[in-house]
Amino acid sequence: MKSVAINGYGTIGKRVADAVAAQDDMKIIGVSKTRPNYEARTAVEEKGYDLYIGIPEKEQLFKDAGIEIAGTVENMIQEADVVVDCTPGSIGPQNLEMYKKAGIKAIYQGGEDHELTGLSFNAISNYDDSYGADYTRVVSCNTTGLTRTLYTIDKIADIKKARAVMVRRGSDPSEVKKGPINSIVPNPPTVPSHHGPDVKTVMNRIDVTTMALLVPTTLMHQHNIMVEINNNVETEDIVEALEKRSRVLVIDASEGLGSTAELMEYAKELGRNRNDLYEIPVWRESINVVENELFYMQAVHQESDVIPENIDAIRAILEIESDKEKSIAKTNKSMGIL
């Protein structure tokens, strides 16, 4: 069975670790932390993962905290077939040197630039491109959300161009030092934001331009999308296509799901690990075709939508499964994805 190392055990890394542990065709070698905090302790004591340290000089801090470590990140990657790098954006380039030296394949996250790997990944739009590759990058949470719905719509409507206004959460729920707490911040203040160009790294044929702002919420991102289409399709056709696509949920505001807060409550109702909502919810009421234009609104649970994509990226890069639909179905089943 192929083995996976997780470098960086924060918001994304701990979720990828649990998702890998839920698969029957891959196993975890270990996870890494730089600080002996509660996540490090739970990784070892509750989850039973072997813990490796990202900064060897900090070994004594882990010893003082009574947290057992199995070695350094360099030791960890010697044992694995692939490393999923979940360190904060921009640490990637220095890690790539280490991965190259160890001769290990690597999967990065959306905080890194596409240029780092020259290859980016979304399961439904370009799984095959990363098949057998040495390095790839799972695109960011927002880019993943845009790609899932635009890819689906393009298949039936032939998109001429897409424009989106992205309302981004100010920080993740545990990030007490980030904001804003009382402001709306154009972010970036320049247009386009990185999301449009980023979609093109996994779905080259679509013309997508985006602008983004930050708001004082931690729960989810929200997208407002306008699409010019070439084909003559009706609103119902779009609804049907989105309903059929896995990892996308057409939800009804009228059923009490009219906000990101209620969507997060819905994830709790579903009994999800960490209350995660891996699917992209699209509000049924917002889907509207007017002549050659389609409008819709969706949300993105930033902490979790990329997790199943990482599992599929592991299957692609390690050549565990050549059929993207089979990989997607297997991942979905193991994680209870609708």
Ligand X SMILES: O=C(OP(=O)(O)O)[C@H](O)COP(=O)(O)O
Ligand Y SMILES: NC(=O)C1=CN([C@@H]2O[C@H](COP(=O)(O)OP(=O)(O)OC[C@H]3O[C@@H](n4cnc5c(N)ncnc54)[C@H](O)[C@@H]3O)[C@@H](O)[C@H]2O)C=CC1
Cα 228 to chain centroid, rounded: 26
| Residue 110 makes contact with ligand Y by CB under 6 A | yes
- Kindly tell me which residue out of 4, 6, 32, 263 binds ligand Y, with binding defined by CB under 6 A: 32
Give which of ligand Y, ligand X, none residue 32 binds (C-beta under 5 to 8 Å, depending on kind). Answer: ligand Y
Binding segment (CB under 6 A) for ligand X, from list 97-105, 125-133, 134-142, 157-165: 134-142
| Residue 140 makes contact with ligand X by CB under 6 A | yes
The C-alpha atoms of residue 245 and residue 25 are separated, in whole angstroms, by: 24
Cα 101 to chain centroid, rounded: 27
| Residue 111 makes contact with ligand Y by CB under 6 A | yes
| Residue 303 makes contact with ligand Y by CB under 6 A | yes
Q: State yes or no: 12 annotated in a binding site.
A: yes
Nearer to ligand X, 67 or 219 (CB): 219
Q: Is 90 exposed, middle or buried (0-12, 13-18, 19+ CB in 10 A)?
A: exposed
186 pairs with which residues across the strands? 213
Binding segment (CB under 6 A) for ligand X, from list 66-74, 138-146, 228-236, 329-337: 138-146
Q: Is 2 exposed, middle or buried (0-12, 13-18, 19+ CB in 10 A)?
A: middle
Look up residue 323 and give its two tokens.
């059929």
Q: Which residue has the tokens 């240029």?
A: 115
Binding segment (CB under 6 A) for ligand X, from list 26-34, 56-64, 137-145, 154-162: 137-145
- Per the omega criterion (within 30 degrees of 0), is the bond before 36 cis? no
Q: Which of 26, 82, 107, 141 is catalytic?
A: 141
Instruction: Give the nearest distance from C-beta 140 to ligand X in angstroms.
Output: 3
Give which of ligand Y, ligand X, none residue 88 binds (C-beta under 5 to 8 Å, depending on kind). Answer: ligand Y
| Residue 118 CB coordination number (10 Å) | 12
Nearer to ligand X, 140 or 152 (CB): 140
For residues 59 and 69, is the Cβ–Cβ distance under 8 A? yes
Active site residue 141: yes
Look up residue 163 and give its two tokens.
């424009």
Binding segment (CB under 6 A) for ligand X, from list 113-121, 139-147, 155-163, 329-337: 139-147
What is the three-class DSSP state of 308? helix
| Residue 13 makes contact with ligand X by CB under 6 A | no
- The CA radius of gyration of the chain, in Å to the nearest whole number, is 20
- Kindly tell me which residue out of 23, 95, 130, 143 binds ligand X, with binding defined by CB under 6 A: 143
What is the DSSP annotation of 152-197? HHHHHH-EEEEEEEEEEESS-TT-TT---SS--EESSSSSS-THHH
- Kindly tell me which residue out of 159, 306, 320, 328 binds ligand Y, with binding defined by CB under 6 A: 306
Give which of ligand X, ligand Y, none residue 142 binds (C-beta under 5 to 8 Å, depending on kind). Answer: ligand X
319: left (phi > 0), else alpha (psi -120 to 50), else beta?
Answer: left
Q: Which residues fall within 8 angstroms of residue 157, CB to CB, at 6 or more apart?
A: 227, 229, 230, 231, 233, 237, 238, 294
Nearer to ligand Y, 34 or 327 (CB): 34
Nearer to ligand X, 32 or 210 (CB): 210
Binding residues for D-glyceraldehyde 3-phosphate: 140-142, 195-196
Binding residues for NAD(+): 11-12, 111, 169, 302
Would you tell me which residues interact with ligand Y (CB under 6 A)? 7-13, 32-35, 54, 86-89, 91, 109-112, 140-141, 172, 302-303, 306
Q: Cite the active site residues.
A: 141
